[in-house]
Amino acid sequence: MRLTDDRYSGERSQFELALRMIRHEARTRTIRECTGLSDDRIRKLYATYFRDSGNNVIKRRRGKSPRQVTRYVKTPENQLQATTLVALYCAGLLLRIDQEDRVHACWPRPDVEFGHRLCRAYETYLLFHDNASLSFEWAWNLLQCISYNEELYLAHCRGCNARYVQDAYALDHRICPACAMDIPAKSRPLETELTAI
């Protein structure tokens, strides 16, 4: 009996995560990686809960996740939003920053708990930014890119001392996006929270 209960609650958690990710328009592949559900089951869930229910607002994305780090640093606004996401990943224990400001992934491989933490971080990010410009897939991609410490890294602002997401191949003026945008200290979304832990 116990085994059945555990299996049931495990499956329920997988389904809940799949529905949560579909709502964010995550790609099938991303949902599969986190939930462990087959493409076929994901398609059926989508069909049952979204397509056939008359809810046509949610689109199902196919193919690979986008990969172009310039998206995160294209404008100070995007840079600020990417920095908010990284701070939320740290708060959700998906990432850790060491004393040298290098970023480390804390989760060995995606699973259901990882997926829920990713969703929670993304949902909080949406609350912080009315004009959110990064989709769920861009957020997922950022989590991976920043933990490689290759194309993206955490730079250090000479004005306010905050860390911010920066392109490793761009000229860095050591001015964080919030200082560049002249955002008063008390209205800055989480940027100053990005410190080594």
Cβ-based nearer residue to Zn ion, 45 or 157: 157
The yes or no reply on residue 158 touching Zn ion (CB under 5 A) is no
* SS3 at position 166: strand
Q: Report residue 94: phi and psi, to 5°.
A: -90, -25
Supply the angle between the helices 112-128 and 28-35 in degrees, to the nearest 10.
Answer: 130
The yes or no reply on residue 160 touching Zn ion (CB under 5 A) is yes
* SS3 at position 8: helix
The yes or no reply on residue 173 touching Zn ion (CB under 5 A) is no
Window contacting Zn ion (CB under 5 A); options: 14-22, 107-115, 128-136, 153-161: 153-161
Strand partners, 153: 166
The yes or no reply on residue 176 touching Zn ion (CB under 5 A) is yes
Residue corresponding to tokens 């559900």: 37
Cβ-based nearer residue to Zn ion, 21 or 179: 179
Which amino acid is present at 18? A
Window contacting Zn ion (CB under 5 A); options: 9-17, 74-82, 109-117, 175-183: 175-183
The yes or no reply on residue 157 touching Zn ion (CB under 5 A) is yes
The yes or no reply on residue 180 touching Zn ion (CB under 5 A) is no
Question: CA separation (Å) from 110 to 35, 115, 129, 167?
Answer: 8, 7, 26, 25
The yes or no reply on residue 90 touching Zn ion (CB under 5 A) is no
Q: Which residues bind Zn ion (CB under 5 A)?
A: 157, 159-160, 162, 176, 179
